[in-house]
Amino acid sequence: MGKESATLGGGCFWCLEAVYDQLKGVTDVVSGYSGGHVLNPTYKQICTGTTNHAEVTQITFDPEVISYKELLEVFFTIHDPTTLNRQGADVGTQYRSVIFYHSAEQQATAEQVRQDSQALWNNPIVTQIVPEETFYPAEDYHQEYFVNNPHAGYCQVVIAPKVSKFRAKYLAKLKA
């Protein structure tokens, strides 16, 4: 079996990338945009909220090491899937909770994991599950943002605590 892709949006793509980069079986994580109507969007365009693109990460993984279901179980614990078009102070459709599935099997798994994850949350999960459209990689300075900018304010205040919480919960699934 070859590598597969997962495309997930859970607010800021820097946060998701910082987490998924650390999982065994994940071979690549690219920050980007998906789900909108603008071809080859820029970050500046995305930030206007008028493109309908979401900030996403496209994750390449080896399903022999980590399953799509496991990726989604992590997804539903590292962001708040109950807030519509927002994550913390980030507000707009570009920050929506969304799973872009790449196959009917991924769609079924996403729907099941979303349903199973509802028990973790007091409010209803609003995560969209929609077919993958065109994925556009974000500009180079967005790639590996947390690794390259660990002392930036956003990294210290938002991403680092999220990564610490994730690492504690998923220690057995982390790369060496």
Residues with a catalytic annotation lie at: 12
d(CA 36, CA 82): 21
d(CA 131, CA 126): 16
Reference 36, options 15, 56, 57; nearest CA is: 56
CA 107, 112, 118, 123 torsion-angle sign: positive
Q: Would strands 26-34 and 54-61 be described as parallel, antiparallel, or unpaired? A: antiparallel
